[in-house]
């Protein structure tokens, strides 16, 4: 009777072990790709032309999406925030609140999501297509490392371009906030003076530091998903979809921990 009652739990235990193993393999493969790309960069084994091309493809081409997303988000946040603050006579705090929110949180996060959705999908689809058409196997046959030729330039491009995308997102979000706030009763001069009062250069720097990690995460995950593609065109579609989902989820998760790590010491008022 004991053996019969214990039997149904065996598949659940195996399934649990399989999930843990998959998570550990995922973390190990991403870490390995990032580390090997770093070694290639340190040794100067990355083709500069490929890296610049990837910067234009993954970074510059993502700027319109980043700007439109941040501008719209800034306008929407300003619409709701201004309505509440003006109602309670706190309109002079609108500029500082919205600007600080964008520099430290919304700007980096929107830039990361936009790049993950656009460039993460592009990386996974491109490398996955090369895997399916056996171009990656041909590189290995010619003793060319796929990490050096495919992964490292894309990792460098994402890490280098994410801060630029973040700055564009910050600017667009603040501009959208200023325009919508002025429409809803907060003058532009009041908004700007409030931002100067509450925001420092350190706040901008914290947001930029976040995007460096976002770029490394997006490129590593997208390359890993592309290299693991199998099953023809259907596999490429699955790899691209999983790349976008994983990149966005990891951007949100890592943003939580980065916010805790980059926050200053708490101040107790007595």
When pLDDT is averaged across residues 201-218 and rounded to a whole number, the result is 93
38-66 tens-digit pLDDT: 998 888 778 888 889 999 988 899 999 99
- State how far the Cα of 72 lies from the Cα of 116, in Å rounded to an integer: 18
- State how far the Cα of 29 lies from the Cα of 6, in Å rounded to an integer: 35
Q: In this structure, are residues 226 and 126 in contact, taking their beta carbons and an 8 Å threshold? A: yes
User: Residue 21 domain-assigned?
Assistant: no
User: Residue 6 domain-assigned?
Assistant: no
> Residue 130 has which token pair?
């090369």
User: Residue 214 domain-assigned?
Assistant: yes
Q: In this structure, are residues 114 and 69 in contact, taking their beta carbons and an 8 Å threshold? A: yes
User: Residue 22 domain-assigned?
Assistant: no
60-82 tens-digit pLDDT: 999 999 999 999 999 999 999 89
User: Residue 9 domain-assigned?
Assistant: no
Q: Which of the four pLDDT bands, split at 50, 70 and 90, describes residue 270?
A: very low
Find where tokens 């908004």 sit.
191
User: Residue 122 domain-assigned?
Assistant: yes
Mean pLDDT in the chain? Answer: 87
What is the domain extent for residue 152?
Answer: 33-257
96 vs 137, 187, 188, 190, 257, CA distance in Å? 54, 13, 12, 10, 24
State pTM to two decimals. 0.86
149-186 tens-digit pLDDT: 899 999 999 999 999 999 999 999 999 999 999 998 88
> Residue 18 has which token pair?
């399989």
Find where tokens 């297509």 sit.
129
- State how far the Cα of 223 lies from the Cα of 128, in Å rounded to an integer: 9
DSSP 91: G
- State how far the Cα of 82 lies from the Cα of 187, in Å rounded to an integer: 11
121-151 tens-digit pLDDT: 999 999 999 999 889 889 888 988 888 889 9
Report the pLDDT value the prediction gives residue 13, as an integer from 0 to 100: 65
- State how far the Cα of 229 lies from the Cα of 130, in Å rounded to an integer: 9
Scored b (16 or more CB within 10 A) or e, 185-208 reads ebeeebbeebbeeebeeebbebbb
Lowest mean pLDDT across 10-24, 134-148, 206-220, 253-267: 10-24
When pLDDT is averaged across residues 234-245 and rounded to a whole number, the result is 91
Task: Tell me how many domains the chain contains.
Answer: 1
For residue 131, give every residue at least 6 positions away whose Cβ sits within 8 Å of its Cβ, in sequence order, or none: 226, 227, 229, 230
């Amino acid at each position: 009777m004991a053996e019969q009652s214990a039997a149904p739990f065996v598949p659940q235990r195996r399934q649990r072990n399989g999930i843990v193993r998959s998570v550990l393999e995922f973390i190990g493969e991403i870490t390995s790709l990032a580390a090997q790309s770093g070694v290639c960069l340190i040794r100067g084994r990355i083709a500069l032309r490929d890296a610049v091309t990837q910067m234009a493809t993954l970074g510059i081409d993502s700027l319109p999406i980043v700007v439109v997303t941040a501008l719209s988000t800034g306008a929407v946040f300003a619409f709701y925030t201004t309505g509440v603050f003006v109602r309670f006579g706190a309109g002079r705090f609108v500029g500082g609140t919205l600007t600080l929110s964008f520099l430290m949180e919304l700007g980096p996060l929107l830039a990361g999501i936009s790049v993950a959705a656009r460039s993460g999908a592009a990386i996974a689809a491109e490398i996955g297509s090369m895997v399916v058409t056996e171009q990656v196997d041909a590189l290995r046959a010619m003793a060319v490392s796929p990490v050096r030729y495919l992964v490292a330039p894309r990792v460098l491009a994402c890490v280098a371009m994410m801060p630029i995308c973040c700055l564009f997102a910050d600017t667009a979000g603040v501009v959208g906030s200023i325009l919508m706030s002025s429409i809803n009763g907060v003058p532009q001069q009041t908004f700007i003076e409030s931002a100067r009062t509450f925001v420092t250069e350190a706040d901008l720097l914290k947001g930029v530091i976040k995007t460096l990690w976002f770029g490394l995460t997006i490129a590593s995950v997208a390359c890993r998903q592309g290299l693991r593609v199998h099953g023809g065109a259907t596999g490429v579609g699955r790899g691209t979809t999983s790349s976008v989902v994983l990149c966005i989820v990891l951007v949100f998760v890592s943003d939580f921990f980065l916010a805790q790590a980059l926050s200053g010491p708490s101040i107790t008022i007595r």
